[in-house]
A and B are shown apart, each in its own frame.
Chain A
Amino acid sequence: KNEVEQSPQNLTAQEGEFITINCSYSVGISALHWLQQHPGGGIVSLFMLSSGKKKHGRLIATINIQEKHSSLHITASHPRDSAVYICAVRRGGNQFYFGTGTSLTVIP
């Protein structure tokens, strides 16, 4: 059983579409991270959340601690958003659990 489940696993969208990627987890956490992995393999940390919502440019991340759920939204998607998006949760202490990632392709 995976402690972190992401959906969908794969997503294809037309440029300009609004995109939502979901992350559900089954353990109590102290923080949740959204990571972006580019086609070349590089990883960028997008957000770290412990409550509420954060926004950076066209990206918005929300978390509902009670429901053990987080969403990553991309507004006005662009081909350069094509990447794998990974949800990671941190429990108390130093335990990290990672989702398997959502592969996003944005078509011009």
Chain B
Amino acid sequence: DAGVIQSPRHEVTEMGQEVTLRCKPISGHNSLFWYRQTMMRGLELLIYFNNNVPIDDSGMPEDRFSAKMPNASFSTLKIQPSEPRDSAVYFCASSPFRYTDTQYFGPGTRLTVL
């Protein structure tokens, strides 16, 4: 099994640009999570999908952030427009059934907004 795949692994962009982060969960997993990690705030859960449906997006910081899961094998996290304070490592994780299960994390995308 390839595990959770994220792309790109590193992204450097300029303030105001649109950024799209991608995630492919483990095949057969029904739940998908997007997290953000910064030195100041640690790990934060941004949004959680179950069976491709967003269940809770209360962790999404503001309207500049949006996430989609058009099918069971793909999800995107978009930031438009990006700001320097969005610089962080963004992790995607998936779990077999629900958020009660063990989560499998992707390698993360390190985003730097200049």
Q: Measured between C-beta atoms, what is the minimum distance from B41 to chain A in Å?
A: 9
Q: Measured between C-beta atoms, what is the minimum distance from A23 to chain B in Å?
A: 13
Contact size class for A? 20 to 34
CB <8 Å contact, A45 and B42 = no
**Cα A45 to Cα B99 with chains together (Å):** 13
With A42-B105, A94-B48 as contacts: A88 and B56 at CB distance below 8 Å: no
CB <8 Å contact, A45 and B104 = yes
Q: Within 8 Å of chain A (Cβ to Cβ): is B25? A: no
**Cα A72 to Cα B104 with chains together (Å):** 19
CB <8 Å contact, B102 and A94 = no
Contact of B44 among A41, A45, A98 (CB under 8 A): A98
With A86-B43, A94-B55, A98-B43 as contacts: A45 and B103 at CB distance below 8 Å: yes
B residues near A48, Cβ cutoff 8 Å:
100-102
Q: Interface readout for B90-111 with A: 1 if CB under 8 Å, 0 if not?
A: 0101000001111111011010
Q: Measured between C-beta atoms, what is the minimum distance from B58 to chain A in Å?
A: 8
Contact of A41 among B55, B89, B102 (CB under 8 A): B89
Q: Footprint of A on B, CB under 8 Å?
A: 42-45, 48, 55-56, 58, 89, 91, 93, 99-105, 107-108, 110
Nearest 10 A-B pairs (CB), nearest first?
A94-B56, A43-B105, A98-B43, A96-B45, A45-B102, A100-B42, A45-B103, A94-B48, A98-B42, A48-B102
